[in-house]
Structure 1
Amino acid sequence: MSTEQKAPKTEVEKQRDYFFDNVKFLLIALVVLGHAYRPLIDESPVIKAVYLAIYSFHMPLFILISGYFAKNYWKEGQTRKVIATILIPYFIFEILYSLFDHFAYQTDAVDISILEPYWIMWFLFSLFLWRLILPYFINLKYPLATAFLLAILIGYIDDADKYLSFSRTVAFFPFFLAGFYLQKHHIEKLFTKGIRTLSWIGILSSVGLMYYLEFHSSLNLDLRRWMYFVFPYEDVGHPEWYAGIYRIALIALAAVMIIFFLSIVPRSKTFFSEWGSRSLYVYLLHGFFIKTYDALDLDDKMPGPFLYISATLAAIGLTIFLSSRFVQRITHPLLQPKVQWLFQKKEPQKKNLNRAVY
């Protein structure tokens, strides 16, 4: 045993909760992996089952964590922060992805539509809207129940997602709100040996469940499109009045999978904790690589297990690379631009020299 004294931890190290950094890194790795698997799901039933298992919870959990860290919405300067860190990067990357899409796929014209988020950009725009409506929504008598009800009803409306990513914004809002109400002691109840064992079994079993539902179930559900929470029920082949029950089931499945996932994530600092603090960099930047990979049509050129393994390793490697300090340093102006000039300077409050003394 070494007798060398350890250097005292800094104040930041004492306060930082590495559990959430670990969660964010593992989740963003699943996001990249899911997008890497997307061109392959018609090539392999197993890959499709894994893909569906990932999509059953990864964005709901990301959204729940976003809600968890929105508790300080009332603090001074939060509105400016939301605009600077969410809305402005949304504008920047919405334009960049539109330009990239034009050159990568040789489209006739550049299609830039701020009100119709491009592909992955829906999350950033919806996040801005969730932060915007949060202070008003929590003043309702039953905010969580209302959000849940709206998430079910939105599926009955055609073209709800045509503008402002409205369908996804409404459908995923219960997870954001649940995260807002979630407290640390709720999560700490998940860290028992029994729950962790059950969680590992549940996560592994979810792949089998997705395989059965997709290829052997009589329900005839297009699970992939259902899990996007974007299509009206009629568009996914279920115009029945009770179609909302399927969304209820998917929300319940997401809740269970979230519990399973959170319980197995390491609580202390790991080698990937620091990477998790840069998950937004990975989310916004990985799309350029995924779109390039998709345009190459590698599934037609080298199908089979080699491609599946290569796509998996490449997705993990890309996640690590985009989480690096190097990438953060060179792309920082895009993700965290200096926009203080947009806001009015606050005048210092004048001291009340005639204040009464009690």
Structure 2
Amino acid sequence: MHNHVTVGSKGSDSRQDGAKVRDVTFDFAKGVLIILVIVGHLLQYVIYSGTEDYWLSPYFKAIYMFHMPLFMAISGYLSSRAILRKSFSQGVIDRAVQLVLPMFFWCALIWLSKAALMTSADSLSGVMLDFFGEFIGTYWFLWAAFASFCAIKLLTSFNGLSLWIVGASAIAVAFAPVPWSIAPLVRYTYPFYCLGFLFAQPIGWQAARRHKAVFVVFLSMVAFMCFLVWGRETYVYNNLVLIYDGESARQVLLMFIGSVATSAVAMQLMFLCWRVGHLTRVARFIAVELGQSTLLLYLLQGAVFRFMDLIGFGELWDLPSRIGFATLLGAAIVVSAIIIRRIARDHGWLSRGYA
């Protein structure tokens, strides 16, 4: 992950913002990942709607092994500058404006839409509880990113840049026995945020880069073996990162090892794709239109999929029909996000992705 295209390198694009330079390579990676987020939800809510067969889908498995962990690692990597250079209060306020404020806005839209459908049997207190449920659960990844930023910022504020403390916190958080609400998802992704942050530090990764090819081959083999034995209980949604016997320990360990290996291999593949195809319209579209709008796309698709239960996918919805509907829905989400972004260019908190 540390091997990224820098300013002036072939295939790079930059935007000057003081001393900050935007690396479009990471925009391309984020664009690919947000596509995978949408595809994963289409598999769950459309293709396999009404069943739980998506746990057994090789496509669902291939996506969920790495897409959110890698997203979190990239977020930690790109947040390193803000963590180290801003004061604690300023950093937390800026991150809250970037993540929590738009999340509140979109959750309010979801709640208002549901409130409009409220029947006379629904109580106001029940609707309010539903709003808090939406606010916490719908966009759990943003809470995880915000909490991870605050945690590392706090650690580095009191202890300076102590890499050992950051690494120890990743282990402590990952294995803390807290199974409630979205805590397991935060515990699962926080170590990847720490990894991304650590890879942004100049602590001798150059030595490892000399043997990058060997590492990629080894990690590819590990990722493939983990893919073969990955099962329903390997997902964080089911094992909750809890260890209480030998089998649960095996599943949790498999989850972390598989996610690390697959994320590393996927990131290298994305770097390669960008180096090869950075001049193509498709690559530029993914990087600029999608990669720089990941927050908006994540918020929009989250709102859309909250209403999928209202669509009855009965027997008349055969597989070709579901695939066709999923394709149209995915395209509609992307097009809608692009339109919203262009209309709301003056509202950066609504249209920008992770910085």
TM-score, normalization by structure 2: 0.71
In structure 2, the residue matched to 1:336 is 349
Matched, 1:180 2:197: yes
Corresponding residue pairs, total = 307
Q: Which of residues 70, 75, 85 is equivalent to 1:61? A: 70
Aligned partner of 1:75: which letter?
K
Matched, 1:320 2:323: no
Matched, 1:151 2:160: no
Residues 193 and 318 of structure 1, relative CA distance in 2, 3 Å threshold:
farther
Q: Contact (CA 8 Å) 1:30, 1:54: kept in 2 or not?
A: yes
C-alpha separation between the residues in 2 aligned to 1:318 and 1:184? 39
In structure 2, the residue matched to 1:222 is 233
In structure 1, the residue matched to 2:105 is 92
Q: 1:302-317 counterparts in 2 under 5 A?
A: 302-308=317-323, 310-311=325-326, 313-314=327-328, 316-317=330-331
In structure 2, the residue matched to 1:142 is 165
Aligned partner of 2:306: which letter?
K
Q: What runs of 5+ residues in structure 1 fail to find an aligned partner? A: 1-8, 215-220, 338-358
Q: Contact (CA 8 Å) 2:188, 2:241: kept in 1 or not?
A: no
Aligned partner of 2:248: which letter?
A
C-alpha separation between the residues in 2 aligned to 1:127 and 1:34? 20
Which stretch of the first structure deviates more once superposed, 188-197 or 285-294?
A: 188-197
Q: Contact (CA 8 Å) 1:144, 1:177: kept in 2 or not?
A: yes
C-alpha separation between the residues in 2 aligned to 1:251 and 1:26? 22
Aligned partner of 1:12: which letter?
R
Partner deviation per Cα, 1:215-273 (whole Å, 9 max, x = no partner): xxxxxx534xx33378364xxxx853662342122011000110111111133432221
Q: What runs of 5+ residues in structure 2 fail to find an aligned partner? A: 1-11, 351-355
Provide the secondary structure at the position in 2 that maps to 1:228: helix
Residues 195 and 172 of structure 1, relative CA distance in 2, 3 Å threshold:
closer
Residues 176 and 229 of structure 1, relative CA distance in 2, 3 Å threshold:
farther
Partner deviation per Cα, 1:44-83 (whole Å, 9 max, x = no partner): 6797221122111111111111111111223254333212
Matched, 1:81 2:109: no
C-alpha separation between the residues in 1 aligned to 2:305 and 2:136? 14
Q: Which of residues 254, 267, 277 is equivalent to 2:274? A: 267
Residues 168 and 177 of structure 1, relative CA distance in 2, 3 Å threshold:
same
C-alpha separation between the residues in 2 aligned to 1:335 and 1:119? 24
C-alpha separation between the residues in 2 aligned to 1:172 and 1:302? 35
Q: Contact (CA 8 Å) 1:29, 1:315: kept in 2 or not?
A: no
C-alpha separation between the residues in 2 aligned to 1:207 and 1:293? 31
Q: Which of residues 164, 184, 195 is equivalent to 1:167? A: 184
C-alpha separation between the residues in 2 aligned to 1:333 and 1:110? 32
Q: Which of residues 28, 32, 46 is equivalent to 2:34? A: 28
C-alpha separation between the residues in 1 aligned to 2:191 and 2:175? 10
Partner deviation per Cα, 1:153-212 (whole Å, 9 max, x = no partner): 32xx4xx423xx333223321111111111388599499778778888887x58962xx6
Residues 289 and 135 of structure 1, relative CA distance in 2, 3 Å threshold:
closer
TM-score, normalization by structure 1: 0.70
Residues 87 and 45 of structure 1, relative CA distance in 2, 3 Å threshold:
closer
C-alpha separation between the residues in 2 aligned to 1:166 and 1:83? 19
Residues 283 and 116 of structure 1, relative CA distance in 2, 3 Å threshold:
closer
Provide the secondary structure at the position in 2 that maps to 1:278: helix
C-alpha separation between the residues in 1 aligned to 2:222 and 2:246? 31
Q: Which of residues 62, 70, 74 is equivalent to 2:79? A: 70
Flag the structure with larger Rg: 1
- Structure ranking higher in helix proportion: 2
Q: Contact (CA 8 Å) 1:90, 1:125: kept in 2 or not?
A: no
C-alpha separation between the residues in 2 aligned to 1:318 and 1:201? 37
In structure 2, the residue matched to 1:246 is 251
Residues 105 and 53 of structure 1, relative CA distance in 2, 3 Å threshold:
farther
Q: Contact (CA 8 Å) 1:68, 1:182: kept in 2 or not?
A: yes
